[in-house]
Amino acid sequence: MLVRDAMSTVVLTVGPAHTLRQAASLMSARRVGAAVVLDPDAGGIGIITERDILNSVGTGQSPDAERVHAHTTTDVVFATPSWTLEDAASAMTHGGFRHLVVLESGEPVGVVSVRDIIRCWAPTRERVGATAS
């Protein structure tokens, strides 16, 4: 199975000047755990995740004062739609993160998460377990 089969194609994008509260609100409304940060001044595409926001709030920073740019991961590992889910899972494991921005022709076309991969693999694993019994 490929990344294109698992990824969310509704890509939430936020700007670097958004507050963390604004980003969290948008992520919550869309029910996603990450947003793509488009910042042409900082070199392009980054990502902010629910964990980035949680870490900021957990250290006492104000989600109304903190800006997305200060919490954006810019050294992003990108996937392509043609990667296998095994490739994506390996990249996530190696890098210690739970989301990959999916690029095609240099543009974000999706985000794939650990949850997306598990959702795709779980039915396969159940069938394998049922036939092994």
Question: How confident is the prediction along the chain (133 residues), in pLDDT tens digits per residue?
Answer: 999 999 999 899 999 999 999 999 999 999 999 999 998 777 789 999 999 999 999 999 999 999 999 999 988 999 999 999 999 999 999 999 999 999 999 899 999 999 999 999 986 555 555 555 5
Instruction: Return d(Cα 67, Cα 69) in angstroms, integer.
Output: 6
Amino acid at residue number 42: A
Which residue range(s) make up the domain with 34?
A: 3-132
CATH number at residue 89: 3.10.580.10
Q: How many domains does the chain have?
A: 1
CA angle, residues 110, 116, 117, in degrees to nearest 5: 115
